[in-house]
């Protein structure tokens, strides 16, 4: 389900704050001179910031970077409390989080015996997979593995102890 776009008045307020904070760097189109371009910017930012709460917008405005104005996606990450380039921001962008961690509901503790149940289940899965590998290799569970040579010398001497291939 698509989140509703952020209100245009809210985006206008964000643009005003960015113009005040970055007077020489903020390059939004002039609404009087280019109304179509300005509306396009408003629409884009509204869609990118869709679903944000007013508290999150305040957080984003409070954490604006000193080096220059953010684009819409970077501002969204700031609103969510994630610095750009962090794993959290990347995970949020990929849709792995539905809300920022501080807004997520805390999980209840696991019921008694859950850890032991998972451990037993893991053992059963491992035993089944080992049995499948043995079947593919043609090895029975009680069969002894072949003995490996102890050293390189043993390998070399065992190759030349059979003299049948030296018959002249």
pLDDT at 158: 52
Whether pLDDT at 47 is above 60:
yes
Query: Secondary structure of 85-119 in the HEC alphabet?
Result: CCHHHHHHHCCCCCCCHHHCCCCCCCCCCHHHHHH
Which carries the bigger pLDDT value, residue 10 or residue 167?
10
For residue 30, pLDDT beyond 80 = no
Residue 167 has pLDDT above 70, yes or no: no
Q: What value does the mean pLDDT take over residues 122-133?
A: 87
What mean pLDDT is reported for the chain?
76
What DSSP string describes the chain?
-PPPPPPHHHHHHHHHHHHHH-TTT--PPPTTT-HHHHHHHHHHHHHHTTT--HHHHHHHHHT--TTS---HHHHHHHHHT--TTSHHHHHHHTTS-SS-GGGSPPPPPPPTTHHHHHHHHHHHHHHHHHHHHHHHHT--TTPPPPPPPSSHHHHHHHHHH-GGGG--
Among 30-44, 72-86, 88-102, 153-167, name the most confident range. 30-44
**b/e sequence 40-57, b meaning 16+ C-beta within 10 Å:** ebbeebbebbeebeeebb
- Quote the pLDDT of residue 28: 78
137 or 17, which is more confident = 17
The whole-number pLDDT of residue 14 equals 92
Asked whether residue 104 carries a pLDDT value surpassing 70, the answer given is no
Output 16 or 159, whichever has higher pLDDT: 16
Confidence of residue 2 (pLDDT cuts 50, 70, 90): low
pLDDT band per the 50, 70, 90 thresholds, residue 147: low
């Amino acid at each position: 389900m698509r989140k509703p776009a952020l209100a245009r008045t809210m985006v206008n307020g964000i643009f005003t704050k960015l113009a005040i904070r970055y007077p020489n760097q903020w390059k939004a189109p002039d609404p009087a001179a280019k109304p179509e371009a300005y509306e396009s910017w408003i629409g884009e930012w509204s869609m990118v910031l869709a679903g944000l709460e007013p508290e999150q917008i305040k957080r984003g405005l409070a954490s604006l970077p000193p080096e220059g104005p953010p684009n819409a996606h970077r501002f969204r990450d700031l609103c969510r409390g994630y610095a750009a380039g962090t794993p959290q921001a990347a995970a949020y962008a990929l849709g792995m989080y539905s809300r920022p961690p501080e807004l997520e509901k805390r999980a209840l503790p696991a019921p008694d015996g859950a850890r032991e149940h998972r451990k037993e289940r893991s053992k059963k899965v491992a035993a089944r997979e080992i049995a499948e590998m043995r079947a593919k290799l043609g090895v029975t569970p009680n069969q002894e593995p072949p003995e490996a040579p102890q050293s390189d010398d043993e390998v070399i001497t065992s190759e030349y102890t059979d003299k049948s291939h030296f018959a002249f």
